[in-house]
Amino acid sequence: MRCRRLCERKPSGRQHVPEAIVAEYKEGGERREVLEMALLESLARHGLNRSAYKRVKGEFVTKCKIIKERMEQKESETVGKWMTEEAMKKSGLFSATAIKNIIKYCQKFPESLIRPWRYNESIPEYFVVVDDQSSWKKTDTTIEQEETELKAAQQTL
């Protein structure tokens, strides 16, 4: 069983998977790799024999939806500024202890969090997080719906 065969439209116009999964397959790249991984996991769980075809297909569709949900619902955004030690003191946003902790943390990852100041390269500039937003959404109704679809696919055997 191949991912391409599951995602292609048959001559009769029928498709084995929803249109959203077909679109991801056509998009290629990382999205296609995720689909192929979901198919491999389904095949590993149910086996390669023809009798397991419907179970594999049902689990494949469910895994694709779950993976897509995870990818879309985990969002994270970090907003920061490049600031020298003096700029941090003058801003009034940070205490002396906080400035020391910021510098100490940035020194752990100097390649990405420290750069030379553009006006005087001997003075280091540190990446300081100003606003850190993360959101993780998980809808119970979607997961219940996917579990129902999987059970329905397993019962058709």
Per residue of the chain (157 residues), what is the pLDDT tens digit?
577 887 888 888 888 788 888 888 888 887 788 888 888 888 888 777 777 777 877 787 777 777 666 665 556 677 888 999 999 999 988 999 999 999 999 999 888 899 999 999 999 999 998 876 655 555 544 555 556 566 666 665 5
Residue 140: what pLDDT?
Answer: 47
What is the rounded CA–CA span in Å between residue 32 and residue 38?
A: 10
Contact between 86 and 68 (Cβ < 8 Å): no
Residue 113: what pLDDT?
Answer: 92
Q: Of 59, 36, 35, nearest to 47 (Cα)?
A: 59
What is the rounded CA–CA span in Å between residue 40 and residue 67?
A: 14
Global pTM reads 0.41
Domain, as residue range, for 90: 76-135
Tokens read off for 97: 């202890």
Contact between 29 and 125 (Cβ < 8 Å): no
Residue 47: what pLDDT?
Answer: 76
What is the rounded CA–CA span in Å between residue 90 and residue 11?
A: 70
Residue 141: what pLDDT?
Answer: 45
Give yes or no: residues 29 and 61 share one domain.
yes
What is the rounded CA–CA span in Å between residue 36 and residue 6?
A: 11
Contact between 132 and 92 (Cβ < 8 Å): no
Give yes or no: residues 30 and 81 share one domain.
no
Give yes or no: residues 127 and 143 share one domain.
no
Number of domains in the chain: 2
Give yes or no: residues 71 and 81 share one domain.
no
Give yes or no: residues 95 and 65 share one domain.
no
Tokens read off for 88: 């941090």
Neighbour count for residue 35 (Cβ, 10 Å) = 24
